[in-house]
Amino acid sequence: MEASTSKNLIFPLLAIVLFISQTQPLATAAKSSGPAYTNFVKKKCNITTYPSLCQKTLMPYASYVQSNSTKLCIAGLNVATKGARDASVIVSNLTKQKGISRYEADAIKDCIEDVKDSVYELKLAVEAMGHLGDKDKEFQLSNAKTYASAAITDADSCTDGFSDRKVNPKVKDMVDRCMSVVIRLSSNALSLINHLYEY
């Protein structure tokens, strides 16, 4: 199993790398939006858990965000949602690998459900952020924080599901990498929400 699994896991690994770097070509578009907007994104990203990842994934949205903290939070949540969707696809593809054991199949199945929950919760967070102009502003903001935090918890649950089961280390490593992307992007989005009214 190890030989075939190792070979077949190359594609998912490349997919993760491509996801992290896919916004780089768009960075040139961000430059045209002016230094004021790019500086705003940089400044806000500095308060996140993973500043460099924040800048890499959100700088392309500088012209859209301009100096609007709410728009930046929504962009961060949308990027995290896409990351969770991509992770779901990659993890789902693991079930198609030859030699996957019953334990691994069960863990992967549970993980897929966890990631789907993360996607749903991130969508709810975006929806809540879109209602900050309503009378129940603080309630909506609290909801956004709760949903973003829940998305992180679900991604963590996925990795935990592989810890107490007999699984191939390569499969576990691939799942850990996928969930790491989801957790980091979601953590950055949550940080932006927590510091929404700063600066």
Query: Is 199 part of a structural domain of the chain?
Result: no
Query: Is 27 part of a structural domain of the chain?
Result: yes
Amino acid, single-letter form, for residue 50: Y
| DSSP secondary structure letter of residue 165 | S
Query: Is 93 part of a structural domain of the chain?
Result: yes
Query: Is 185 part of a structural domain of the chain?
Result: yes
Query: Is 30 part of a structural domain of the chain?
Result: yes
pTM of the complete model: 0.83
pLDDT digits (tens, 9 = 90+) for 161-172: 887 667 788 888
Considering its fold, how many domains does the chain have in total?
A: 1
Q: Is 25 exposed, middle or buried (0-12, 13-18, 19+ CB in 10 A)?
A: exposed
Query: Is 33 part of a structural domain of the chain?
Result: yes
pLDDT digits (tens, 9 = 90+) for 15-54: 554 454 444 434 434 444 567 789 999 999 999 999 999 9
User: How many Å apart are CA 79 and CA 50, to the nearest integer?
Assistant: 14
- Which range of residues forms the domain containing residue 175? 2-194
CATH of the domain at 35: 1.20.140.40
* Helices first, then strands: H and E counts in the chain: 10, 0
Query: Is 178 part of a structural domain of the chain?
Result: yes
Averaged over 153-179, what is the pLDDT?
A: 86
